[in-house]
Structure 1
């Protein structure tokens, strides 16, 4: 027996959850499928916290999308009464002249984002938690803050269900087909048919869409939590969300002590060991802790206390570290949202709306041409 839907969403991490919620709000009959729990600790939508920021050094064209996402986070928080975002401010630090801060300053100037440039002396006086070389400067962004990751996935999944979506955990898609009349998805429990498909499977997307030629590489990332030696310097209201572009070119980021998270979190933001979602080594080793201790020792010594936890997560990386949000190059009724390269979570509410636009009308009013598959030399989605 084949069950019929309007749209099937494959993958219910943060991007699948927001897409299912946006579609269901529009009265679309939605089925969402995930291979694990919703949420889970297997992909890229966990780790307690994520950073929200507007001064985007990666590309200034992201800023309009971020503004829409910012509104979406606040609207969802107000609607549900759940704390999804905590405004802590954001401090981004690098040697003067490095793109990490200069590109963020360019984005802020171009889009009129409130920010403050800090010289080394000012930064050292205001934020003594960070011990930086004298050639380092900072950009402070007041509206940046902390997103609560698993809570966000759960909230949008619940919103999807309350709006009529059907979400199924532990039911991975094993095969799919699409043609002009619709699409079919097969799982171990049955076959489902819909007019349109959405693939939001993160690191699993490439394997199930081999014909799309997605240039996505999965990497194993490590997240660490420690209890600071001087915890008062890392409390909410004292310590902002932060990122450092270290002299060796490794960006590190982290968060203050927040409710529900086991201590002071930090991680490096660059693609690490290539892997696949099904073969990744999730075992934690001494080398994983040794990876982040030098950052603490050199730049944040007051936080260099006992280890509280280490987890792995997955990045789904594109060659240029920009997202892929497009229609399948061969199937106009299949929408792809993947390759978020470790910096997509803060966009989630607007990504959900964009995916819902593409899945229902084939177009969106948001400017996403720079996220098309065409930039990699392929055909991109059908016009």
Structure 2
């Protein structure tokens, strides 16, 4: 039997950060994952993730993002690794649509620097981009992308350096609360922890079932297309982009290597009953939708698919996160239901989980993410 101060279940994007912060804070911490992070079985893979501050989803995320930016910078400085690439993020859509209206609301409320483009200015400033009819653009320069696997590896290396025990390929069969400790059952042993942190991605639907907040797992697809157009490369200062069309919301990244330009659809997705049903099988209809988007709005891009991956979104009813301490189990802290827009926050969320486990509170404003909003 193993004992520890804190057990962290799930050491992907958020969990790797939580284990690192807890180990740095002096906790005797064990991190467990059913695979060997970084891996491609969950939600935190696929080379890159967008990071942006003028958050169209809700202005309340901006203080959390400010904290995340600081923590990513600190991780770069501490490890000497380049993780964040400020390419800028170009968002395009109808002026009254979800993306543009929401971005403006956050920028205005938090006095964020953005640059606005009228319809006719977009193609002139960004050759190779054909915006949807009657749309406008917003460029946020202090935004860009994070390297996913490198971020996770950096945090896990930090955790090991500060004495954390990392147990990979170790699924949790069950957990129970016994008096003043949590008991975790794996296939091979029992672990007793004074505090329990759960950030299990799509497996949170099982691990946090008694939270009684419905979460839907969506299979999502990522595509990389061959590219010969200099206009779409990072070397030519092409930004990360997110474009709202009548057919859906699509996003992508400048070409950064030989795999080409990465693209995906943000909305939509195929519901699956459990994380165990995830597969890397292509979805022909989803791919056709993405390729229709590229023909219409990125016409210089090849239609030759170089690479494909599938990941999972775990979506709450309002598409906002679940963060906090379990209302019925004191000492159980969690991050779940990141709804397809959570990785950029991983650095801040890991620090928050550390705060909650070590002191029972955090100075970062997270009340708007409490599961109590559903009751």
**Same structural fold, with TM-score higher than 0.5 when normalized by the shorter chain:** yes
Greater alpha carbon shift after TM alignment, 229-238 vs 336-345: 229-238
Cross-structure match for 1:117: 116
Q: Give the whole-Å Cα distance in 1 for the aligned partners of 2:284 and 2:350.
A: 38
Moved more, 282-291 or 65-74: 282-291
Provide the secondary structure at the position in 1 that maps to 2:64. Answer: helix
1:349 aligns with 2:347: yes
- Measured in 2, the distance between the counterparts of 1:109 and 1:238 equals 26
Secondary structure, aligned partner of 2:275: coil
Cα deviation, 1:98-153, whole Å, max 9, x if unaligned, reads: 13111101111111111111101211100122111341100110100110011111
* 1:44 has 2:43 as partner: yes
Match of 1:257 among 238, 248, 255: 255
Q: State the shift of 1:194 in Å.
A: 0.8
**How far apart, CA to CA, are the structure 2 residues paired with 1:152 and 1:235?**
20
Flag the 1:55–1:285 CA change in 2: closer, same or farther, 3 A: closer
Please point out which of 316, 341, 347 is paired with 2:314.
316
Q: Distance in 1 between matches of 2:251 and 2:28?
A: 39
- Name the residue aligned to 1:381: none
Q: CA deviation at 1:237?
A: 4.2
- Alpha-carbon shift at residue 185 of structure 1 (Å): 0.5
CA deviation digits over 1:137-190, x for unaligned, max 9?
A: 001101001100111111111111111111111001101111441111111120
Q: How does 1:67-78 map to 2 (within 5 A)?
A: 67-78=66-77
TM-score, scaled relative to structure 1: 0.95
Cα offset, 1:291, TM superposition: 3.2
Q: Which residue of 2 aligns with 1:66?
A: 65
Greater CA deviation, 211-220 or 225-234?
A: 225-234
- Residue 216 of structure 1 is matched in structure 2 by 215
Structure 1: tracts of 5 or more residues without a match: 378-383
Secondary structure in structure 1 of the residue aligned to 2:363: coil
Spell out the pairing of 1:182-331 with structure 2 (5 A cutoff): 182-248=181-247, 250-259=248-257, 262-275=259-272, 276-331=274-329
TM-score of the two chains, using structure 2 as the length reference: 0.97
Helix, strand or coil at the partner of 2:14: helix
SS in 1 for 2:62: helix
> How far has the Cα of 1:285 moved from its partner?
4.9
Cα separation, 1, equivalents of 2:334 and 2:145:
27
CA distance in 2, matches of 1:20, 1:233: 37
Supply the distance in 2 between the matched residues of 1:313 and 1:321 (Cα, whole angstroms). 17
Name the SS for the 1:61 alignment partner: helix
Q: Tell me whether 1:150 sits opposite 2:130 in the alignment.
A: no
How far residue 353 of structure 1 moved from its aligned partner, in angstroms, is 0.8
Distance 1:265 1:341 in 2: 20
Distance 1:338 1:86 in 2: 26
Aligned partners of 1:100 and 1:285: how far apart in 2? 26
Secondary structure of the corresponding residue to residue 101 of structure 2: helix
Mapping for residues 80-95 of structure 1, pairs under 5 Å: 80-95=79-94
1:231: Cα distance to partner? 3.7
Return the offset for 1:284: 2.3
Counterpart for residue 174 of structure 1 = 173
Question: In structure 2, what is the Cα distance between the partners aligned to 1:367 and 1:271?
Answer: 30
19-28 or 228-237, which deviates more? 228-237
Aligned mates of 1:180, 1:270 — CA distance in 2: 43
Q: Deviations over 1:223-249 (max 9, x none)?
A: 00001242443334421011001123x
Q: Quickly say closer, same or farther: Cα 1:325–1:271, change in 2 above 3 A.
A: farther
Q: What is the aligned length?
A: 374
User: Contact 2:223/2:307 (CA < 8 Å) preserved in 1?
Assistant: yes
Return structure 1 stretches of 4+ with deviation > 3 angstroms.
Answer: 285-288
**Counterpart-to-counterpart distance in 2, 1:286 and 1:134:** 27
Contact 1:129 1:234 in 2 (8 A): no
Any idea what the Cα deviations from partners look like across 1:255-300, whole Å, max 9, x if unmatched?
A: 00114x7210011112411112101242225444323111101111
Counterpart-to-counterpart distance in 2, 1:74 and 1:284: 36
- 1:305 positional shift: 3.3
Q: RMSD across aligned C-alpha pairs, in angstroms?
A: 1.4
Aligned residues of 1:48 and 1:149 also touching (Cα < 8 A): yes
Residue 277 of structure 2 aligns to a residue in which SS? coil
Gaps of 5+ in 2: none
Q: What whole-Å deviation, never above 9, does each CA across 1:296-326 have from its counterpart, x for those lacking one?
A: 0111111233110111000011011100001
How far did residue 365 of structure 1 move? 0.7
Separation in structure 2 between the aligned mates of residue 134 and residue 192 of structure 1, nearest angstrom: 58
